[in-house]
Amino acid sequence: MNQPSFSQHIPPTDEQLAARFRPIFDRIAAGAVEREQQRSLPYEEVSWLREAGFGALRVPQRYGGLGATLPQFFSLLQELATADSNVSHLLRGHFAFLESRLNQEDEESREFWFPKVVEGALIGYAMAERTEVTGTSATIVRAEDEVQGEKGWLLNGKKYYSTGTIYADWIVASVVDGEERVSVAFPATLPGVTRLDDWDGFGQRMTGSGTTLFENVRLSEQHIVRRFSAKPPSSYQKAFLQLILLTSIAGVGRAVLRDAIAFVQPRTRAFDVLGQSSPRQDPLVQRVVGRIASLSYAADSLVQSVARALEHNWLQAQAGLADDALFVRTEIEAFQAQQVVIDLVLQASTLLFEVGGASATSETRRLDRHWRNARTAASHNPAIFRERAIGDYYLNGTVPDSGWWKDLPGADANAETNADQPAIAPAHS
């Protein structure tokens, strides 16, 4: 089935989207410190976003969604991250799954998922395992009996780092069926599913990135999303996933600037100055805030640049003009932004403490959450690996490792570099 064009509708204006979601972002921001102090999961805040249709931002209007462009989507996601980067991060799997549906030639899948999301359903990912070989602990076992006349499966296993799954209505999991890799999606409330809030990282503590257990979860054929017997179709999906993380990190940068200003403006005492004074008039304090503002601006600019690149990919794909080289170059662009955005925001979140002395470390303010959240989000997809991949690409034209499919028969040409004929020529060649 050919993929329909989604480019004919008129997207909502930035003003319309801001009017719809900005009041909710403000409410989420208002409780961020208290949630951090109490380690309170943002169930209510997630429900506000559901009710407002935030989860359907990228769902095309023909299915009842908002049909936002990718730059609009990432702009709003960064506003949410500024309010609370836990909340923006926990939606990563939801938006990644939907974007994948948009980029696959499967209209039946879109007609199944998009209306559910428009009605408020959220989707969580349960992918990662503590094992060297993906899929050895979570597997689909074919059941011997039938369920209402349809052959079924039993799912058993354990997944870790299940970001957002604790808030989700549907769970997407990667499993194995014998020797075959399979993606399954099923209601989170099926018997045998247990979602634990046991994430013990020092940052992003309310993302629900804990353990998901599957104990004889009965699935049917409709729960099988895809069987991976070949390389998945080329797309900008990896760059999209990376940019969601960078957007959360850049949102922390904005929050650092916001809190630096809010901390300094009302203060009437500066270090080493007797009596009352006005720190906001202190040239050194001004310099610190100016530096934080500049770091945040640079991070914002990189995120916006990659978002525009993704939109170009999307439009080219809709016009039938996208190719592997385009997708790879955009992936490299996202990796390059990763190297810099992380450093910019970690600098800003450390520099924040130079505006107020020891009082800035008060537990009542929880300003330390900014560095902890940025550092934790930055630990996903370690930047040092991506830095090497960038260098290999520019030096040798090597396509970054695209995952398990590189080991499939016939995939060698895509996974390995030929010194005389690079797999993909870098943009500058």
| Residue 407 DSSP code | G
pLDDT at residue number 401: 74
SS3 at position 196? coil
Report the alpha-carbon distance of residue 138 to residue 157 in Å, rounded. 4
SS3 at position 141? strand
Provide the total of helices (H) and of strands (E) in the chain, helices listed first.
13, 8
Q: What is the pLDDT of residues 298-323, one digit of tens each?
A: 999 999 999 999 999 999 999 999 99
pLDDT at residue number 429: 37
Res 16 pLDDT > 60: yes
Report the alpha-carbon distance of residue 428 to residue 228 in Å, rounded. 34
pLDDT at residue number 237: 94
Reported as a pLDDT band with limits 50, 70 and 90, residue 421 is: very low
Instruction: Kindly state the average pLDDT of the residues 4-20.
Output: 83
CA angle (171 as vertex; 168, 177 as ends), nearest 5 = 170
Q: What is the pLDDT of residues 124-154, one digit of tens each?
A: 999 888 764 444 544 655 655 555 566 778 8
Report the alpha-carbon distance of residue 126 to residue 162 in Å, rounded. 5
Res 268 pLDDT > 80: no
User: Mean pLDDT for the chain?
Assistant: 87
CA angle (284 as vertex; 280, 285 as ends), nearest 5 = 35
SS3 at position 182? strand
Q: What is the pLDDT of residues 39-94, one digit of tens each?
A: 999 999 999 999 999 999 999 999 999 999 999 999 999 999 999 999 999 999 99
Q: Write the CB contacts of 13 (distance below 8 Å, at least 6 apart in sequence).
A: none
Contact 306, 337 (CB under 8 A): yes
- Where helices occur in 119-170 by DSSP H, the ranges are none
pLDDT at residue number 403: 52
- Residue length of the chain: 429
Amino acid identity for residue 387 in this structure? E
The model's pTM: 0.89
Where does 160-284 show beta strands of DSSP type E? 170-177, 180-187, 193-195, 212-220, 224-228
**Domains (range + CATH), the chain:** 14-122 (1.10.540.10), 139-228 (2.40.110.10), 237-415 (1.20.140.10)
Q: Is 393 exposed, middle or buried (0-12, 13-18, 19+ CB in 10 A)?
A: buried
Report the alpha-carbon distance of residue 221 to residue 398 in Å, rounded. 38
pLDDT at residue number 278: 75
Res 404 pLDDT > 80: no
Of the ranges 43-47, 272-276, 279-283, 397-401, which one carries the lowest mean pLDDT score?
272-276
Percent of residues, the chain, with pLDDT higher than 70: 83
Q: Are β-strands 123-126 and 170-177 bridged in parallel, bridged antiparallel, or unpaired?
A: parallel
More confident residue, 392 or 224: 392
pLDDT at residue number 152: 79
Report the alpha-carbon distance of residue 106 to residue 8 in Å, rounded. 19
Reported as a pLDDT band with limits 50, 70 and 90, residue 280 is: confident
Place of tokens 């974007």: 99
